Structure 1
Amino acid sequence: MKQKRNSLYIFSITLVACIGGLLFGYDTAVISGADKSIEAYLVKPLGLGSLAHGATISSALIGCIIGGLISGYFASKFGRKNSLIAAAALFFLSALGSAYPEFLFFTKGEPSISLLLTFNLYRIIGGIGVGLASAIVPIYIGEIAPANIRGRLVSFNQFTIIFGMLVVYFVNWGIANGQPLEWINDVGWRYMFASEAIPALLFGLLLLFVPETPRYLTLKNQDDKALAILTKINGSSEAKSILKEIKQTVTVNVSSEKLFAYGKLVIIIGILLSVFQQFVGINVALYYAPRIFESMGAAKDASMLQTIVMGLINVVFTVIAILTVDKWGRKPLLIVGSIGMAIGMFGVAGLAFSNVIGISTLIFIIIYTASFMMSWGPICWVLISEIFPNKIRGQAVAVAVAAQWAANYLISSTYPMMMEYSSGLTYGFYGLMSVLSAIFVWKFIPETKGKTLEQMDNVWRKPSVNQHKAV
């Protein structure tokens, strides 16, 4: 008897994997509420300036780069599922350590260089978790999902990233709301970091109940287990044909799992996708959101509230991407999003040059972030999860994600200094990157809508001349 696709099962395991995305968003955005408290508690008492402050706020990104780099090794050596369990453990340790970096070795209320470095170490540990999750969650979902809904399911990971940011904006606002600044700078910021331990623990426990991906199992010659999972997901008849197709892509035409087995073009495209996603400046808006709104004249509580409003807008436009990515395709959404981001950033830049700060600035920021969330936010992760052939996916995603976090660190850590020099030029630079990102997509990105992961082998196995025609 022919079995039908088990939609509930697919959604359940996708939802569990996406808690990794929620933690990704939670960990990277929690610093937005604690930004000024960390500066007041750890940076200023030591006589350190904006460079040290920017490096501290962005230190988790060093861990993200490390996590991205090692994700390929972890995914190939230990499997997708076990790598996510490791990420959950790192999130949990970082949450508690960042909340109380004085544990065992230091005295509360006595800042020192050693304490500052210890705080940064805990943030880097969390960053390694983010780097692992950011690379492996899309791989996991992409390797589990049927081709016709893969874009939607991988995009849902971006939804949970943004939802995690929105949740932590509410948490930070709830902790700080109505409290004196002295309490926030002494105790409140600790609660912000510690709150992450709850979803981290939940993530680790739920991962014990999800399967390994069938494509990883096939790579490890565990065909019976792979077939069982494919059958549960797709039904018995379709499962056998999918397994046959998977086995062909991991055994023919590619004699090894070397990174450049399919040529350099696919790797370069993956890296540039990641770099452009960061060079358009989105994480500046996310990490420094309260500070940006305060510079526009909002009080501290009001700036956090405006950040929550931004978070809600981000969620709404991410949902638009989820609903359209498998209908309209990847390329149209990316190009439209790039145009919208360019309008938003050039608008903010023009107002900054004119020294105009107010509701018009907020409108352009909303245009910019909404455009990103309906395009580059989710679609970049969709493409990274599906564009690479089976044989090299783990390694190639690791390189692309490491490049993404390196670009993220560069943009985020230089933002305070760039703003000190010229806010107009800073936002103008992000607008220029948005224009270049549209040209890059138009020229080099192949449309992957509706293609199975196995069909991507054929896209990159063509001679280089035909590859350019395909894109």
Structure 2
Amino acid sequence: MPKITNQYALAALACTGGILFGFDISSMSLILGLNSWNSFFGNITENGVTRVDANLQAGITASMPAGSALGAIISGLFSDRFGRKGAIMAACCFWLIGSILCAASQAVAMLIVGRIINGICVGIASAQVPVYLSELAQPKIRGRLVGFQQWAITWGICIFYYVSYGCSFIGGSASLNTAQFRVPWALQTIPALGLMALLPFMPESPRYLASKNRWDEALEVLADVHAKGNKENALVLAEFKEIQTNIEEENSSSWAELFSGRYLNRTHIVVFTQIWAQLTGMNVMMYYISYVMEMAGYTGNIGLISSSIQYVINVLMTVPALIFLDKWGRRPTLMIGSILMATFLYINAAILATKGHGLNSGFNGNDAVRWIINEDAHSAGVALIAMTYLFVASFASTWGPVSWVYPPELFPNRLRAKSNSVSTLGNWLFNFALAYFVPPSFKNIQWKTYIVFAVFCTVMTVHVFLAFPETKNLSLEEVEEVFAAKLPAWKTRAATKNNRLASLADKIERGEDHGQATKGNLGYTEAPLTAVDSPELEDKKETA
């Protein structure tokens, strides 16, 4: 059977789950303003116009992240029992069922059920695809490959926004033809079908195989993905030895262990990585960008096209992170991103507070928009949109990719699937809460909504500085030793300057490694290696 072994091709395929999540975000953001949507699912009528009110819209939008929270919970069970590939296949099946229900929905209840099932897919994929890629990737490009998850989300958002925009003209832009939203929901099954067809040709995670004592297969995957099939490659042997060391020291895992004294700190870090990513307010910009455009005075096709620009920015500005994240490191990327986002959110709040005014009823029939820029302050509207674009660019190059890269790096193999389930659960619970919170928030506290998210961005900057250790350039096994050393988070960057895996590979290449995991012999009985070659780290370990 043919095999797909190129790391970048595997990342592109595995991240199809991210594309599907992006599809949902952009389709909802455009569909919200369609007459056909409001007429078919509307629950209130004013002045002869039927529309969906803010509370119902919040509930419909939030149903998908609610399903994703459920998917995140069960994803660890799927992944540990059936493998990373098995979990991804299950996710695709859920997506097909949910999309069919959405496209055929005849009532709000049917639509919500379909979106919940779609959400289960996204929850499983968003939790286990980063695990799969982090366990396949070479340490030097792990951040880049796992960051493809976020890039896939941005591509999904951008592509499907334009697909939905094109479908909005079916029968004419003012038409009540339900094909305007049914066709996009049917088309979103295509990527899932493509991934299901190609999954059999993709390798299983070598660390999952090792955890099931399938050592020959684990070595074969490492060789195929990292060395074009060469099982004698020194780096392959070095990584295989590291995996053996880690696996042989591990016992069976339990969910309760994530909250034990040894791992509680790590659990809090991975959960807050995902929670903070939501509390930046980015998904507010994605789901409800049409609201922001209306506040700035942009409606109709001008508003739709202006909204699409931020999706293009989202795609383009994720690229610098993919290229440089493994050089910049996780900590500085997160802190710079949150500082920039806080700045732009504070500015937007100030613009709206000083150059806008409140409304007694929803603007342009939109019940959630109760605050708009003054008619004589066109430049303020332009500034509001400009700050929104800069906010999106800041998220796309920082918290967007890092929130997927960082959590699966922090736990040992036996707990990785479970820990990523818990961290991703945090993501989707807050995604659900915010999707439901934002329309009523814009309606009731108007511009102060921006202040809420700006404060969150300020607080997360401090939290990252105090609690988040650096992990760049380390193998997944070496990260364990960084935590064992109990260094303050702001001092862990020194531990990433030396690559022990490369040093071990050099020793194997020269025949100087005295363990048995050398060329021609893959047995292993040697005691675990010493800590990362950092004098500060070594001293700290001795006193710990």
Q: Same fold (TM over 0.5)?
A: yes
CA contact (8 A) 1:33 1:172 kept: yes
Structure 1 residues 421 and 142, CA gap change in structure 2 (3 angstroms): same
* 1:154 maps to amino acid: V
* Corresponding residue SS for 1:304: helix
Q: Does 1:341 align with 2:341?
A: yes
CA distance in 1, matches of 2:250, 2:155: 42
1:461 aligns with one of 477, 484, 499: 484
Q: Please say which of residues 228-237 and 128-137 is displaced more in the overlay.
A: 228-237
* 1:283 maps to amino acid: N
* 2:264 maps to amino acid: K
Question: Shift of residue 216 of structure 1?
Answer: 0.5
Q: Please say which of residues 125-134 and 23-32 is displaced more in the overlay.
A: 23-32
CA distance in 1, matches of 2:91, 2:194: 12
Gaps of 5+ in 2: 357-372, 374-379, 494-544
Matched residue, 2:305: 305
Question: Shift of residue 462 of structure 1?
Answer: 4.0
Q: Please say which of residues 420-429 and 245-254 is displaced more in the overlay.
A: 245-254
CA contact (8 A) 2:143 2:325 kept: yes
Matched residue, 2:20: 23
- Deviations along 1:219-269, whole A, 9 cap, x unmatched? 111111101000112232222221221121122165644324632000011
Q: Does 1:372 align with 2:398?
A: no
Question: Shift of residue 156 of structure 1?
Answer: 1.7
Matched residue, 1:319: 319
Q: Does 1:259 align with 2:258?
A: yes
Matched residue, 1:42: 41
CA contact (8 A) 2:410 2:479 kept: yes
- Deviations along 1:109-138, whole A, 9 cap, x unmatched? xxxxxx211110000000000101111111
* 1:398 maps to amino acid: S
Matched residue, 1:111: none
Q: Does 1:228 align with 2:220?
A: yes
* Corresponding residue SS for 1:251: helix
CA distance in 2, matches of 1:447, 1:184: 53
* 1:13 maps to amino acid: L
CA distance in 1, matches of 2:444, 2:44: 25
* Corresponding residue SS for 1:79: helix
CA distance in 2, matches of 1:23, 1:208: 20
Question: Shift of residue 296 of structure 1?
Answer: 1.9
Query: 1:67-78 residue pairs with structure 2 within 5 A?
Result: 67-78=71-82
Matched residue, 1:107: none
CA distance in 2, matches of 1:149, 1:7: 18
Q: Does 1:191 align with 2:190?
A: no
Matched residue, 2:293: 293
TM-score when normalising by structure 1 = 0.91
CA contact (8 A) 1:175 1:192 kept: yes
* Corresponding residue SS for 1:250: helix
2:128 aligns with one of 136, 145, 158: 136
Q: Does 1:211 align with 2:203?
A: yes
Question: Shift of residue 437 of structure 1?
Answer: 1.3
Gaps of 5+ in 1: 1-5, 103-114
CA distance in 2, matches of 1:211, 1:65: 27
1:245 aligns with one of 237, 242, 247: 242
* 1:232 maps to amino acid: D
2:417 aligns with one of 394, 403, 412: 394
Identity of aligned residues (%): 30
* Corresponding residue SS for 2:142: helix
CA contact (8 A) 1:59 1:123 kept: yes
Question: Shift of residue 286 of structure 1?
Answer: 0.2
CA contact (8 A) 2:170 2:177 kept: no
1:85 aligns with one of 84, 89, 93: 89
* 1:66 maps to amino acid: L
2:465 aligns with one of 429, 439, 442: 442
CA contact (8 A) 2:337 2:398 kept: yes
Matched residue, 2:100: 96
Q: Please say which of residues 118-127 and 297-306 is displaced more in the overlay.
A: 297-306
Structure having the higher Rg: 2
CA contact (8 A) 1:65 1:128 kept: yes
CA contact (8 A) 2:55 2:440 kept: yes
Query: 1:87-126 residue pairs with structure 2 within 5 A?
Result: 87-102=91-106, 115-126=107-118
Q: Please say which of residues 305-314 and 143-152 is displaced more in the overlay.
A: 305-314
- Deviations along 1:399-432, whole A, 9 cap, x unmatched? 0000110011111211011111122210111111
CA distance in 2, matches of 1:191, 1:430: 35
CA contact (8 A) 2:466 2:488 kept: no
Question: Shift of residue 191 of structure 1?
Answer: 1.2
TM-score when normalising by structure 2 = 0.79
* Corresponding residue SS for 1:208: helix
- Deviations along 1:333-374, whole A, 9 cap, x unmatched? 111111110111111111111214511001110111110001
CA contact (8 A) 1:28 1:60 kept: no
Structure whose residues are more often helix by fraction: 1
Q: Does 1:359 align with 2:385?
A: no
Q: Does 1:452 align with 2:478?
A: no
Q: Does 1:404 align with 2:415?
A: no
CA distance in 2, matches of 1:151, 1:281: 23
CA contact (8 A) 1:99 1:190 kept: yes
CA distance in 1, matches of 2:197, 2:250: 40
CA distance in 1, matches of 2:213, 2:181: 48
CA distance in 2, matches of 1:173, 1:232: 42
Q: Which has the higher contact order (CA 8 A, sep 6+)?
A: 1
Structure 1 residues 318 and 468, CA gap change in structure 2 (3 angstroms): closer
Structure 1 residues 208 and 304, CA gap change in structure 2 (3 angstroms): farther
* 2:196 maps to amino acid: G
CA distance in 1, matches of 2:436, 2:21: 19
CA contact (8 A) 2:278 2:431 kept: yes
- Deviations along 1:422-452, whole A, 9 cap, x unmatched? 2221011111111111111111111111010
Matched residue, 1:170: 162
Structure 1 residues 343 and 466, CA gap change in structure 2 (3 angstroms): closer
Q: How many residues align?
A: 453
* 1:220 maps to amino acid: K
RMSD: 2.1
